[in-house]
Amino acid sequence: MKMLLHGTAVALLVLAATHTVQASSPNPDQVIGVLSKAVLDVTHKPSGQDWATATRGQALSQGHTLRTGEKSVAIVKFKDNSLLRLRELSEVTLSGSQSGQSLSKSVDLLNGVIGFSVSKQRAGEEFRFSTPTSVASIRGTGGSLSKGATDVLVVVEGVVNFLNRVSGKAVDVQAGFTGVSWPDGKLDVRVSTEAERASALEAARSGDQPRQLKLEIRNGQGEQKDLIIDYKE
């Protein structure tokens, strides 16, 4: 016996988020994405404005900065359905440029760790992540990028071109590998550790992943049945 949950609820949430974007943005062409999830301490700062508390459904536009506090998470859904997940104590600034139906996106990582699941980009589109030291150019893949003493890129799906801005050296980092970029221009690629891969998968998780709950129940005749409930968390 199997129960499926979240069908109608998910559809309603998507409609609600879409409505919020349209209502909060006088110019839809300037909207890059929407804040689809905000847990605990998440703040935002539109370009030229002050910091304020961010809420689910917040429209995000050119120059928008997001920041998470301790034990906090923010998830951004872009117009092309790509997902960005900010882990705790992280800060990013979003940029985008529209040319016809093509939208190029850029995420500047100022602090912390981000996970990403980027949809395959169409011709004329680009999606890249950058720090003062590095640039990661993505066509369609998943993984994580962290900024600390070094920039660490972990790829769990697809291929990412990783560039060190200081030396100009660039490498392709494939799934299962980790790229490390140093402020002195050094750039290395090695096989990801199990811990790095697990952390990258967690960082890239959208927050709406399918889960299963399995319950063992018995009927009046003592026969055992498995009750499986599909849900999202």
Q: What number of other Cβ atoms are within 10 A of residue 12's Cβ?
A: 10
Higher pLDDT, 171 or 27: 171
pLDDT at 230: 44
pLDDT interval class at 218 (50, 70, 90): low
CA distances from 77 to 86, 104, 213 (A): 12, 14, 27
- Residues of the chain above pLDDT 70, percent: 73
pLDDT interval class at 227 (50, 70, 90): low
pLDDT at 189 over 50: yes
Higher pLDDT, 184 or 14: 184
What helix, strand, coil percent values describe the chain, rounded to 5?
15, 50, 35
Tens of pLDDT along 13-40?
333 444 443 334 435 447 888 898 999 9
116-145 mean pLDDT:
86
153-174 mean pLDDT:
94
Residue ranges of domains in the chain, CATH in brackets: 2-232 (2.60.120.1440)
DSSP 141-205: -EEEEEESSSEEEEEEESEEEEEETTT--EEEEETTEEEEE-TTS-EEEEEPPHHHHHHHHHHH-
pLDDT interval class at 138 (50, 70, 90): confident
pLDDT interval class at 145 (50, 70, 90): very high
pLDDT at 172 over 60: yes
pLDDT at 2: 40
pLDDT at 217: 57
Higher pLDDT, 27 or 196: 196
pLDDT at 174: 93
pLDDT at 52 over 50: yes
Tens of pLDDT along 64-84?
999 999 999 999 998 878 889
Q: Long-range contacts: 20-25, Cβ < 8 Å, 24+?
A: 20/57, 20/58, 20/59, 21/57, 21/59, 24/57, 24/58, 24/59, 25/59, 25/61
pLDDT at 81: 83
Mean residue pLDDT of the chain comes to 79
